[in-house]
Amino acid sequence: MILHIASKQDWSSAQAKGEYAAPSLATEGFIHFSTDKQAVHVANAFYKGRKDLVLLVVDESKLAAELKWEAPAGPPAENISQSDLFPHLYGPLNLTAVASVLDFQPDPATGAFTLPNP
């Protein structure tokens, strides 16, 4: 399973359209995903203060578009391990690959994200 952080509004729109296309698909050519070990770091780095998020839990085996495991953007790293690679989906996310959708809220006291219980 791979994870994607989305706004509730974008997810609602995707359900109406029948597929999900994050803004990054138009600007970067792919949709960013994370592993369960990467998602909290991504959320705390890029979504601080957001309270309108959901976490899409996606079954890789059901994806219609091509999934590639790639290094994060930035200076090239020489010794990147498999755990440092991020899943990138090169096309829209077919809704049939979404196994579950979890409310993804930061802790009210600390503002930090943690993975929700399934």
Question: In this structure, is residue 71 part of a structural domain?
Answer: yes
The rounded percent of the chain whose pLDDT value lies above 70 is 90
Helix, strand, or coil here: 2?
strand
60 domain-assigned: yes
List the end-to-end C-alpha distance of the chain, in Å, as a whole number. 12
Tell me the pLDDT band of 111, cut-offs 50, 70 and 90. Answer: very high
Give domain status of residue 86, yes or no: yes
Residues whose CB is less than 8 angstroms from the CB of residue 118 and which lie 6 or more positions away in sequence, other chains included = 57, 100, 102
Q: Which residue has the tokens 């780095």?
A: 45
Q: With H, G, I as helix, E, B as strand and everything else as coil, classify residue 56.
A: strand
Query: In the chain, how many domains are there?
Result: 1
**Residue 117 domain flag:** no
CATH number reported for the structural domain that contains residue 58 in this entry: 3.20.170.20
Bigger pLDDT: 53 vs 116: 53
| Inside any domain, residue 87 | yes
Which pLDDT tens digit goes with each residue over 65-98?
A: 999 999 876 555 554 455 689 999 999 999 999 9
Per-residue DSSP letters for 66-79? Answer: EEEEEPPSSS--SS
Domain enclosing residue 28, as ranges: 22-104
